[in-house]
Chain A
Amino acid sequence: MQTLKKVDVVIVGGGWAGMIMAKEIATRTSLSVLLLERGGPYQGLAANHDAKDEVDTYVRHRHTENAADGLVTHRRTPQSRANPIREFVGLPFQGTGMGGSGDHWGGTSPRWTPESFKIATHLKELHGASKLPPNLANQDFGVTWEEIEPCYMRAEEMMGTCGKAGNLNGKKIEGGNVFEGPRSKEFPSPPHTMPYFPLLFAKTAKEMGYHPFPMPSSTLSQDYTSPDGVSSKGCVYCGHCSGYPCHVGAKASPNFRLLPIVEKKKNFKVQTHANVRRVVHKDGKAVGVTYLDQSGNEFMQPAETVVLAAWGLNNTRLLMLSKTDEQYDPVTGKGQLGRNLTYNMGGGISFFLDKPQNNFMGAGGLAMGIGEMLGDLGDEGAKEGAFRGGIVFAYNQGGSPVLAFGNGHIPPGQAHSNWGAEWKDAAIKWNERYVSFLNTGNCFAYSHNYVDLDPTYKDKWGDPLLRCTYDSTDADLKQINYIRKKNIEIAKAMGGIGVPSGPIQGRGPGSPSPHTHGGAIMGLSPETSVLNRYLQHWKIPNLWVLGANAFPQADEHTTMTVLGLAYWASDAFIGRYVKRPGALS
């Protein structure tokens, strides 16, 4: 193993968190920054044009990681055996290459609520611990809304997020989300022009007494120049959005918004095809990281500070492989690492309208939403066992034909099978009339949901895969069904055809999705968290871990909060740690 020249800061991962950290450190200090990315370099917009092929990009995942290398394993309970996720079921997990998942995300950009960050305390105060679901493992983040709000704002200004404020410094504004936490400024870009389905949803919801608003989206509604002077084109609504890289630079990606700034800095370097396998540490200090290049050569990269900013679950796995902490045990409740595995609690319904939707046009986050069920569901929800909800949104994110037909969407009773002439005729008729609501919201942490290293399955390089033990709970189901009831009411009022009826009965398989959080969480106690409230490792102060791994539990879509926390951590690192290295209090 060759030992390379020491750098001040080594950052693992070229996605949102890593690139925010890199840009902040490289532009605000003179420290040398080396970013290690396991995938390849950014190829430019021309390559992103070629990527508009559904089969190669969306079906075979040409631009994201290869499932063959090893993803994760999953089981529902600690007593059962885990199966590897052998191929992508639906969305790919994570990006690989510069930009990471930030290069193929959908751009849906809701912030969380002020209470999301202190949910454990908040819910106990509101309902009393005895009324809450059993085995709840929620913890407070340790950051306040006042601390995180300016970080959300910086993320939005960097990306040019579109939307309409509904709560500006406490003043409620009709037309925006009046249920959002107070914002310090208006959105940097105006809302998108909305197509038929979101407009019909908004009109109907308003008539029913809801307060519809344009869903925040980090796909630009018009040309935009960020505070850093980076200019990008407005969205062209090509409909190849979530799951695809953007070919005009409208959908915020680290490659468009951060790379152009940081690559000009002499104190910044990228090493692509560098697959980091261990954090090397000794006596409570990180010494550096080891990585493999494409040919399998192993290198030791020494660094004064190590920043992990891989996909959240991979951060957790790297810590486990590097033996930094005690593994969490769901029986004894001891151990810090592996706790609080959570997902994005979805739900939502699909149905049909009597008019063609031109579903091939659209953009991720091109949606109208309602916020009445965002955050606390109050006594009405608690009566049904549902405590926290989420945003309901009607979207046109664009859709390509293989996916649409593969799912075979037709209203119930239109065909006896999902193949053959009868189905084909129905699918052709209904394909362009298919619409969906998506719910994005609260996901509680439970003591039985956690991660550890799988005893059986290994990755391409011989390291154990991460094992996810996750089962949704009755309380989760009650939450989903509480919102589903409202989904159904609105869909029917819109004149929906084939609107589903009744609650969901069974719980899902609980297998992981791209929106997966926890494992190496932040918190206020080194007994029950891996990171302090600045995302600094409790026991190894020169190790920082950025990503959704830090969420003790989750609320709406993942990305904005990953970005907000990355800005929060970068300020603590630059403003305090660099001046006086050591554990921050």
Chain B
Amino acid sequence: MKRREFIELSAKSLGGLLIYSLAGEPIMLNAREGTVQVPLRFFTEQEAKVVVAACERIFPADESGPGATQANAMVYIDRQLAGPYGTDKYRYTQEPFVESVPGHGYQGKENPQETYRAGIQKLGADFVELDGAKQDERLKAMEKSHFFQLLRQHTIEGMFSDPMHGGNAGMVGWQMIGYPGPQMSYRAMLGKYNGTAYRTKPQSLSEILGSPVKPWEDEERG
């Protein structure tokens, strides 16, 4: 039985307290202090910390808006890896595994869980203590690896996917880019905002439908 692992995250990143004006200007509302314990499904606490740090370098918080830490991208990744995706339930895994051209996609044997375990180890246990420039150096050295490509893709997924998957906390990712969420109709807007941005407060799929939607990674867990 796997030991139950937790990670402490800043309450700021969980409360959705960073909001955006409709013009896309970030405004920080009285950020609560303190931390919240988030149960981990796949990562160990140590691994989770490395992933948080690496994701933040890939998608950092800066003047253009929040980054991966604030969006809880790591939580998204943890859940995806613990779900059927993590053990290749959606990928053809018959041998032999032979490397090929990029057009054929990933041809390796390792599943996403294994790729992360090994990749995190390669980043090093001391990764979280390094300064940003040093962290970038290590990531840069791995840039061509399958692990890095997954990490980059998953960070973006964790920034911009529906919050039901664990990332995009408080819809900070959607607010940042002016994405309204999976709205059910733009019929009244089409052709009326030509060349100007249509902005509205983002809503998650559950909010829009007015009923809970179960993410696939949870459904397949039973």
Contact = CB atoms under 8 A, between A and B. Distances in A.
Q: Do A and B come from one complex?
A: yes
Interface of A: 49-50, 52-56, 59-62, 66-71, 74, 81, 83-89, 193-196, 199, 234-240, 247, 355-356, 358, 360-362, 400-402, 405-406, 417-421, 424-425, 428-429, 431-432, 456-458, 508-511
B88 A85 contact: no
A469 to B, nearest CB: 14
Given A237-B185, A238-B184, A428 B176 contact: yes
A508 B90 contact: no
Nearest to A429: B64
B107 A86 contact: yes
Interface string B95-119: 0101011111111000000000000
Interface of B: 57-60, 62, 64-65, 67, 85, 88-94, 96, 98, 100-107, 136, 139, 143, 152-153, 155-157, 159-162, 164-165, 173-174, 176-180, 182-187, 189-191, 193-198, 205, 209, 213, 215-216
Say what secondary structure dominates the interface of chain A: loop
B91 A67 contact: yes
Contacts of A55: 157, 161-162, 165, 215-216
Nearest to B187: A236
Contact of B103 (A54, A86, A87, A508): A508
B7 to A, nearest CB: 21
Given A236-B187, A509-B101, A356 B92 contact: no
Contacts of B156: 402, 405-406
Most chain B CB within 10 A, of A56, A66, A356, is at A56
A419 B190 contact: no
A431 B189 CA distance: 20
Contacts of A87: 90-92, 105-106
Contact of B216 (A62, A195, A361, A400): A62
Contacts of B101: 509, 511
A69 B93 CA distance: 9
Contacts of B179: 360, 400-401
A43 to B, nearest CB: 14
Contacts, number: 186
A394 to B, nearest CB: 13
A238 B106 contact: no
B118 to A, nearest CB: 19
Contacts of A238: 182-186
A49 B187 contact: no
Nearest to B102: A509
B184 A405 contact: no
A419 B152 contact: yes
Contacts of A405: 156, 159-160, 177
A52 to B, nearest CB: 4
Contacts of A66: 89-90
B185 A199 contact: no
Contacts of A508: 103
B130 to A, nearest CB: 15
Given A53-B164, A360-B180, 14 more contacts: A52-B205, A53-B215, A84-B94, A86-B106, A87-B90, A89-B104, A196-B193, A237-B186, A237-B189, A247-B184, A402-B161, A420-B58, A432-B177, A457-B94
A238 B64 CA distance: 27
Contacts of B91: 67-68, 86-87
B89 A68 contact: yes
A424 B98 CA distance: 34
B182 A89 contact: no
B184 A49 contact: yes
Nearest to A408: B156
Given A195-B190, A195-B194, A237-B185, A428 B162 contact: no
Contact of A402 (B98, B160, B164, B196): B160
B194 A421 contact: no
A432 B105 contact: no
A60 B194 contact: no
Given A193-B191, A401-B177, A86 B209 contact: no
Contact of A355 (B191, B195, B216): B195
Given A68-B90, A238-B185, A83 B177 contact: no
23 contacts: A49-B209, A53-B205, A55-B162, A56-B216, A60-B216, A61-B90, A66-B90, A69-B92, A74-B104, A83-B100, A193-B191, A195-B191, A234-B187, A236-B185, A237-B185, A238-B185, A240-B182, A358-B197, A401-B179, A421-B62, A432-B177, A432-B197, A509-B103
Given A56-B216, A237-B187, A511-B104, A196 B182 contact: no
Contacts of A49: 184, 209
A62 B184 CA distance: 19
A420 B198 CA distance: 27
A458 B160 CA distance: 36
4 closest Cβ pairs, A-B complex: A509-B103, A236-B185, A196-B194, A401-B160
Contacts of B64: 424-425, 428-429
B100 A236 contact: no
Given A74-B104, A509-B104, A421 B197 contact: no
Contact of A418 (B85, B152, B213): B152
Most chain B CB within 10 A, of A49, A60, A67, A456, is at A60
Nearest to A407: B156
B87 to A, nearest CB: 10
B96 to A, nearest CB: 7
B85 to A, nearest CB: 6
Contact of A199 (B89, B183, B194): B194
B104 A83 contact: yes
Contacts of B155: 419
Contacts of A83: 98, 100, 104, 107
A508 B162 CA distance: 34
A355 B196 contact: yes
A238 to B, nearest CB: 6
A406 B150 CA distance: 11
B182 A53 contact: yes
